[in-house]
């Protein structure tokens, strides 16, 4: 199984809502990533988890809260978002951070709309 599964595929939420995005992989990968992608722009790295510990936070606002409850699962908790946070949120995984001679696998993303 070489898939990264993201749910939901689409999400519409109000600015006062709390919601969560979920990402799952069963490849035994120990590095997991969240990216944000605005229309016609490249993906921007948000967070990196290495062996279930937060390794990198690219100065992401606290209204985005990542969580890695186990080695297969990565969540992104959303609270009090703004309309400008509407974007495609991508999850990725790789063997581990230093395995730079291996490929990373991406999910299909969650299309988030904040109203």
Partner 1 sequence: DAKTTQPNSMESNEEEPVHLPCNHSTISGTDYIHWYRQLPSQGPEYVIHGLTSNVNNRMASLAIAEDRKSSTLILHRATLRDAAVYYCILRRGSQGNLIFGKGTKLSVKP
Residues that bind partner 1 (CB under 8 A): 4, 31, 33, 42-45, 48, 56, 90, 92, 94, 97-101, 103-109
User: How near is the Cβ of 15 to partner 1 at its closest, in Å?
Assistant: 26
| Short-list 109, 88, 113, CA closest to 38 | 88
User: How near is the Cβ of 37 to partner 1 at its closest, in Å?
Assistant: 9
User: How near is the Cβ of 30 to partner 1 at its closest, in Å?
Assistant: 12
Measured from the CB atom, the residue of 84 and 103 that comes closer to partner 1 is 103
Task: Extract the tokens encoding 24.
Answer: 């799952």
| Short-list 46, 43, 68, CA closest to 57 | 46
Q: State the Cα–Cα distance between residues 30 and 51, nearest whole angstrom.
A: 5
């Amino acid at each position: 199984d070489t898939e990264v599964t993201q749910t939901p595929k689409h999400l519409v939420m109000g600015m006062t809502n709390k919601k969560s995005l979920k990402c799952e992989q069963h490849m035994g990968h120990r590095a997991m990533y969240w990216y944000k992608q605005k229309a016609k722009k490249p993906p921007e790295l948000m967070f990196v988890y290495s062996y279930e510990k937060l390794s990198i936070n690219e100065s992401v606002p606290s209204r985005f809260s990542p969580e890695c409850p186990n080695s297969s699962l990565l969540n992104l908790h959303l609270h009090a978002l703004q309309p400008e946070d509407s974007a495609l949120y991508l999850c990725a995984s790789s063997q581990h951070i230093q395995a730079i001679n291996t490929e990373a696998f991406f999910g299909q993303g969650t299309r988030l709309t904040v109203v």
